[in-house]
Amino acid sequence: MKTKHAFRVISCVLSLLIALSLLSCDVRKIPSKTESTEMPTEAKTEEKTQLEETTPDETATAAISSTSPESATETETETASETNETLTSEIETEAEITSTETSTESEVEETSTSLPSLEETTAVQTESETESSSETVAPHTHKSSKWIVDKEPTCKSAGSKHKECTDCKIVLETDTIEKLKTHREGTKQIEIEKGLFCGNSGEYSATVNCIDCGDIISVGKYELPKKHKMSNNVCEICGLPQSSTNGGMTFYLKPDGTYLVTTSSKAIDENIVIGVYNDISVTEINGGAFSERIDIKSITIAYCVTTIGEMAFYNCTSIKNVSIGNGVSEIPDETFWGCTSLRSVSLGDNIKTIGYRAFKGCSNLYYVYITGAYDWKLRSERGNTTTVYGSWIAKEDNRQGFAADYLLEYVAYKWTRK
């Protein structure tokens, strides 16, 4: 690269010298003023004759060509000067380019010297690989875990298990687990006589099936326990529900070992359940116990409750739904008087009496359900009597029930099932 540019610079210098030498030769050939004034007379005469014979264009041309030697010399000098300047600028440009390329080459050389060569890089990599190979740890020794069960055995099929390295988790060993020779117990299927619950005298039967194959493992009869065995708010044996824990109710333990709901106050729970309290059945609701509780939205009375007092839910204006279990046989007088939002009532199968004004003021009552197409005898406080026949009672949702309009029309009467 450097040789090429040096050659170009030398060529430019030689061209400049040749131009200067030619210019000097032309200057020597120009005659002086004395020589020009001493032209022979004959030459002047010939020149005059030639001027007369020439045309105007030729005269102009001749005039141009007959310019004085001094002006010609000046013109040639200017031309040579311009040429000289041009060559000088070219030389300077070439010199700048040469210097730029030289600096670039020097930078490239510096960079090339600063970067390691391919051989050096390969050597470094080889050294690092050698060092890493020299630092390699001895072959990994697996640490076996205990047996891990992949599939539990059942009475129908075998299971599987494996051992693995505690570090790298590679499976080291597998094996099968023999099929079980015994059944695994599933959930007990309880059968209990209708109306009985824990705390009553009686028995219940329990059937246990294998959880894997479904075969019956055991069948037995057992005495009903004195207390309930609660799980997820339900008794595992008789199925009674847990009473609302935040229902604001006060319980009293009666001499017979069951509980009575005495009073209640405004509480968190809006949907009240009355069933089991402290693993013992609640069997009675005191008269006026929930009177004027305007925060209650629904009442569920489990079948362990056998007695409801008068005006128990008097003026509970927010109650919409009531469900009464089979343990109750009588709805006493004025029980739901003033429950203006009450719409649906489900009565237990054992209801035999509905007291005077039990549903008075229940203007929104629409559904009243009771099983069976019974005939009812109605009697007013004045002694008037009438009958509502079972054939008049409409069927709703495949259940036989009262038509609510009959109950409201004869609300001042006492209803007795025949």
CA separation for the pair 414, 381 (Å, rounded): 8
Poorest-pLDDT segment among 17-31, 60-74, 272-286, 368-382: 60-74
**So what's the pLDDT on residue 282?**
97
**How many C-beta atoms lie closer than 10 Å to residue 270's C-beta?**
15
Per-residue confidence (pLDDT) for residue 84, from 0 to 100: 52
Give the model's pLDDT for residue 226.
93
- The residue with greater pLDDT, 374 or 412, is 412
Strands, DSSP E only, in 211-355? 216-223, 230-231, 234-235, 249-253, 259-264, 271-274, 276-277, 280-285, 298-301, 307-308, 321-324, 330-331, 344-346, 353-354
- Residue 18: the pLDDT is 76
pLDDT the model gives residue 161: 94
Instruction: Please report which confidence band the pLDDT of residue 369 belongs to, taking 50, 70 and 90 as the band edges.
Output: confident
Q: How far apart are CA 239 and CA 218, in angstroms?
A: 21
Task: Determine the Cα–Cα distance for residues 173 and 163; give it in Å rounded to an integer.
Answer: 5
Evaluate whether 228 touches 240 at the Cβ level (below 8 Å): yes
Highest mean pLDDT among 37-51, 67-81, 315-329: 315-329
Mean pLDDT of the chain: 77
CB 340 within 8 A of CB 317: yes
Give the torsion through C-alpha atoms of 345, 346, 352, 357, to 10 deg: -10
Is the per-residue pLDDT at 186 higher than 90? Answer: no
- According to the model, what pLDDT value does residue 356 have? 95
Q: Give the residue with greater pLDDT, 398 vs 321.
A: 321
Report d(CA 378, CA 414) in Å as an integer. 6
pLDDT of residue 316 exceeding 60, the answer is: yes
The residue behind tokens 């489900």 is: 346
| pLDDT-wise least confident of 28-37, 234-243, 248-257, 407-416 | 28-37
Contact 315, 341 (CB under 8 A): no
Q: How far is CA 298 from CA 270, 271, 301, in A?
A: 7, 5, 10
Counting residues of the chain whose pLDDT is more than 70, the rounded percentage is: 67
Residues with Cβ < 8 Å from 299, sequence gap 6 or more? Answer: 272, 274, 290, 313, 319, 321, 322, 323
- Summary count for the chain: helices (H), strands (E): 7, 25
Rounded alpha-carbon distances, angstroms, from residue 173 to 143, 161, 178, 243, 317:
12, 9, 17, 55, 72
Q: Quick one: residue 149, left, alpha or beta (phi over 0 = left, psi -120 to 50 = alpha)? A: beta
Distance (Å, rounded) from C-alpha 233 to C-alpha 269?
A: 15
Burial class (CB in 10 A: 0-12, 13-18, 19+), 152: middle
Secondary structure (3-state) at 262 = strand
Cα 249 to Cα 23, 232, 290, 328, 399, distances in angstroms: 133, 21, 9, 20, 32
Amino acid 32: pLDDT:
46
pLDDT exceeds 60 at position 79: no
Q: Give the pLDDT band (50/70/90) at residue 19.
A: confident
The pLDDT of residue 1 is 53
Q: Give residue 339's pLDDT.
A: 96
Segment 390-400 mean pLDDT = 61
**pLDDT score for 86:** 54
pLDDT at 23: 66
Residue 116 has pLDDT above 70, yes or no: no
Phi–psi pair at 120, nearest 5 degrees: -65, -45
Mean per-residue pLDDT, 316-337: 95
What are phi and psi for residue 346, nearest 5 degrees?
-115, 115
| Identity of the amino acid at 374 | Y
Please determine, for residue 406, whether its predicted confidence score (pLDDT) is greater than 60: yes
Considering the chain, tell me which residue range(s) the CATH 3.80.10.10 domain(s) occupy: 240-417
pLDDT of residue 170: 92
Domain 240-417 has CATH 3.80.10.10: yes
